[in-house]
Chains A and B, each alone.
Chain A
Amino acid sequence: MFILTKFSDLVQISPEDFSKHSIVAIEDNINAKYANKVVQKIGLCISLYDVLWTSEGLIGHGTGLVNVNVEFRMIVFRPFKGEVMLGRIRSSTPSGIHLRTDFFDDIFIPYEELPQGAEYNHSEQIWIWNFDEERLFYDNHEMVRFQVIDEEWHDQTPAGPTQAEDTPAKTPYKIKGSMAAEGLGVCLWWDGA
């Protein structure tokens, strides 16, 4: 689920942070820039893991900023294809089920990835799995096990004036999952037995 990614970046320490130890200032600076943000094709950055190398601090003309080149490793959330994870059901629509984890919201299970015999109940707005005469419900907030099958990236960089203004914002990183295989789906069904 988590990987370490090695980055190199220029860290600028502003004068009000000079009272901090350099390493603390660098750590805060990197975390402020990366934590809880998605880097395209890398994943959701969580936190600084360690600092591998730093250059001398250099002060340029005109500003009081200390410039330091830093090489560091970040903890990144990036489940691999085929990984089985836990998540909670956020909402259901006829096109599929939206899942979330506490820290990541964009997980989608399309209807064709639900097990055979699953049907959508429009009045309750939930999916139901008909299995051996039994009706099993995909209730909201239920903990489920799912398998990652695909990922989708949308670069958030503005495209310039040609971009239509009312295009809905796309999430930068979206995971597509499956709950069709045996053992996947609501945890209670499998663990309770």
Chain B
Amino acid sequence: MKVVEAQAAVLSNYEVLQHLTQQKDRYKQRKRRGPPNLETVVRELIQYLQSYPNPLSQKPSTYTPGCISQLLERLSPYELSKGEVVMILNLRPASVAALNTVIEEMSERFSDEQQEEMVNIILEVLGQFEAAQPDANGNADEAAES
């Protein structure tokens, strides 16, 4: 084994999920299974990516292949770093407070209006959860709260 390039590219959660579901469909079509270790990690990873509050858990999915480039284009005036944009894609911060966790020194770099604008762009491009989340995980969380 030789590592040719430690980091050839960065993938967002959406792209990984896309690849894994395609791979799963392909296996199903040909009626074959991958090695057991692959089956385990793929099953667990899909489960992780599709559990609330991960944005990919939303059905029907608000993510499309075009939304990554669209988001990059709309957020380009703010000069965010690559890592920050990947986190926005993965976590879809829905409020200024949530955005604050993924953007470093946000209050110094951006005015309050700019922060609001970014949240709105994220909301428009990536969508958002319905106000009430009646799925299984949502219920479990409510039970824990009461």
Given A86-B53, A102-B51, A183-B97, A3:B9 Cβ within 8 A: yes
Complex Cα distance A139/B35, Å? 36
Instruction: Name A3's contact: one of B7, B20, B35 (CB within 8 Å).
Output: B7
The reply to whether A9 and B1 contact each other, CB–CB distance below 8 Å, is yes
Complex Cα distance A36/B44, Å? 10
Given A84-B101, A147-B101, A5:B53 Cβ within 8 A: no
Known contacts A32-B37, A86-B54, A143-B52; 5 additional CB pairs below 8 A are A6-B5, A46-B45, A83-B87, A84-B102, A102-B47
Chain B residues in 8 Å Cβ range of A191: 53, 94, 98
Complex Cα distance A83/B89, Å? 12
Complex Cα distance A28/B145, Å? 45
The reply to whether B48 and A103 contact each other, CB–CB distance below 8 Å, is yes
Complex Cα distance A106/B90, Å? 21
What is the interface size of chain A, counting residues whose CB is below 8 A from a CB of the partner? Answer: 50
Instruction: Name A35's contact: one of B12, B37, B51, B98 (CB within 8 Å).
Output: B37
A94 contacts B by Cβ under 8 Å: no
A-B CB contacts (within 8 Å), total count: 138
The reply to whether B3 and A75 contact each other, CB–CB distance below 8 Å, is no
What is the interface size of chain B, counting residues whose CB is below 8 A from a CB of the partner? Answer: 51
Complex Cα distance A129/B71, Å? 36
The reply to whether A2 and B16 contact each other, CB–CB distance below 8 Å, is yes
B136 contacts A by Cβ under 8 Å: no
Chain A residues in 8 Å Cβ range of B35: 28, 31-32, 35
Instruction: Name B2's contact: one of A8, A103, A187, A190 (CB within 8 Å).
Output: A8
Complex Cα distance A60/B88, Å? 51
**What string of 1s and 0s marks CB contacts (under 8 Å) between A167-193 and chain B?**
000000000000001111001101110
Show 16 A/B contacts (Cβ-Cβ < 8 Å), sorted by A.
A2-B10, A6-B4, A6-B8, A8-B1, A8-B4, A9-B2, A31-B35, A32-B37, A36-B38, A36-B40, A46-B16, A47-B19, A86-B53, A145-B101, A183-B100, A184-B101
Instruction: Name B11's contact: one of A4, A36, A143, A187 (CB within 8 Å).
Output: A4
Measured CB to CB, the residues of B under 8 A from A are 1-13, 15-16, 19-20, 23, 32, 34-35, 37-38, 40-42, 44-45, 47-48, 51-54, 83, 86-87, 90-91, 94-95, 97-98, 100-102, 104, 137, 141, 144-145
9 closest Cβ pairs, A-B complex = A183-B101, A32-B35, A36-B41, A103-B44, A35-B38, A102-B48, A6-B5, A6-B4, A2-B11
Main secondary structure of the interface of B (DSSP, over half): helix
How many Å from the CB of B14 to the closest CB on chain A? 10
The reply to whether A2 and B13 contact each other, CB–CB distance below 8 Å, is yes
How many Å from the CB of A5 to the closest CB on chain B? 6
Chain A residues in 8 Å Cβ range of B86: 1, 83
CB nearest to A86 among chain B residues: B54
Given A2-B10, A5-B6, A103-B44, A31:B19 Cβ within 8 A: no
A101 contacts B by Cβ under 8 Å: yes
A73 contacts B by Cβ under 8 Å: yes
